[in-house]
Amino acid sequence: MVNLAGRVVLVTGASQGIGRACALELAKAGARVALAARNEGKLAEVAAEIADAGGAADPFPLDIGNEESIKACARSVVARYGKLDILVNNAGITRDGLSMRMRRSDWDDVLNTNLTGAFLLTQAVIPCMLKARWGRIVNITSVVGETGQAGQANYAASKAGLIGLTKSLARELASRTITVNAVAPGYIETPMTAVLDDKQREAMLANVPLARPGTDADVAHAVAFLASEEAAYITGHVLDVNGGMYMG
């Protein structure tokens, strides 16, 4: 069983979906969890849910698309706990549309939030991990970052970029016992996929050998493992959680 007692974890996009599930799972493993997102009301609800289960979590406001908000969040977390051991870069958005019609703002917003935001937050917390000579960084990418997806050039590019960032950081930080890995979910039932209609859902499931959508808990279990001591010899890896949708 994963044991993260004494560890401090920061999870972005923690107010719902995969981020919420990761926060719950990491708290269950004994970590103190910093919950970060824009919706402070929902963060408070997640913090209360964790407390009711015997865990510990605190909300921190974060707009991952704003550099000053990113820096302020990182400072606040370290000031509160005195350290930061594990970072889960989960926050992300979509702005779907065919490339030939995609607005520049939709491209910029997705890249800025999903990729640049993750880079800036990682950059902000690395010094703390370097000082401790220990750390875990887990980036939530996507199966479409590995396969591409029509109508999601911006989203796929941002998630493919996260994979490249993961591998580069893994090489840079390995000497300080800091591992950097990614989890690539496939079709997972979350608020982001709730907008799909029945035809779209059927089309997605037709490409999943396990013939079911994944759950946010499926992803959270993978994240908890990569954050643990049991994964100490794994770095620069992309762990696919997709029911066989993509076998790279």
Question: What is the C-alpha to C-alpha distance for residues 138 and 34, in angstroms, rounded to an integer?
Answer: 15
CB 96 within 8 A of CB 49: no
How many Cβ atoms are within 10 Å of 172's Cβ, its own excluded? 12
The predicted-structure confidence for 189-237, as pLDDT tens digits, reads as follows 887 777 778 888 888 899 999 999 999 999 999 999 999 999 999 999 9
Please give the domain boundaries of the chain with CATH numbers for all domains. 8-240 (3.40.50.720)
The predicted-structure confidence for 169-193, as pLDDT tens digits, reads as follows 999 999 999 999 999 999 998 877 7
The predicted-structure confidence for 29-50, as pLDDT tens digits, reads as follows 999 999 999 999 999 999 999 9
pLDDT of res. 204: 84
Question: What is the C-alpha to C-alpha distance for residues 91 and 127, in angstroms, rounded to an integer?
Answer: 21
pLDDT of res. 190: 81
Instruction: Say which of 155, 187, 233, 246 is annotated catalytic.
Output: 155
- Give me the amino acid identity at 146: E
The predicted-structure confidence for 85-142, as pLDDT tens digits, reads as follows 999 999 999 999 999 999 999 999 999 999 999 999 999 999 999 999 999 999 999 9
First to last CA, the chain: 28
155 counts as catalytic: yes
Q: How many CA atoms lie within 13 A of 235 on its CB side?
A: 20
Alpha helices (H) in the chain, listed in sequence order: 17-28, 40-52, 67-81, 104-111, 117-132, 144-147, 153-173, 198-205, 216-226
Tell whether pTM > 0.85: yes
